[in-house]
Amino acid sequence: MTFRGTLIEPPACSINNGEDIDVDFGERVGIKKVNGVNYLQPVSYRITCEPSASKWNMTLAVIGTQAAYDKAAVRTDVTDLGIRLIQNGKPFELNLPIPVNPASPPKLEAVPVQRPGATLEEGKFVATATLQAVYQ
């Protein structure tokens, strides 16, 4: 038996040129108005790749800690509050890669959500996750 092949390194790509992606919901998120619709914000990002990347398949995933009540929501530091990610109008389940074309990546949005039946407390909140692109 003989086995042959050629090892190659995938072309370089970056998301947002390696800079943080910041989504600011502002200072006036009403605790009684968090419903998964109000306060929807765009997630502005771009994927930049070398020209040879078009020959590769790519997946995109949001890596983070899910809110227990919503697989598409990143858990925040406030009890019962999460940030739901939406891709092209549909919930974007965390930690689940989807196939994408780096030349036309999906539209991403974020919106605050709360555990059904919960009462939110006033205060600042923060959540973090990683937007990850991987070649297949």
DSSP secondary structure string for all residues of 93-131:
-TT--EEE-TTSPPPEEEEEEE-TT--PPSS------EE
The pair of three-digit structure tokens given for residue 67, joined into one six-digit string? 């809110």
- What domain range is 61 assigned to? 13-21+30-117+125-135
Q: At 100, give phi and psi (nearest 5°).
A: -140, 160
Looking at residue 119, its pLDDT comes to: 95
Is the confidence at residue 70, as pLDDT, over 80? yes
| Residue 94 covered by a domain | yes
Mean pLDDT of the chain: 92
Mean pLDDT of 60-77: 97
Looking at residue 29, its pLDDT comes to: 94
Is the confidence at residue 53, as pLDDT, over 80? no
pLDDT in tens, 28-47: 999 999 999 999 999 999 98
| Residue 7 covered by a domain | no
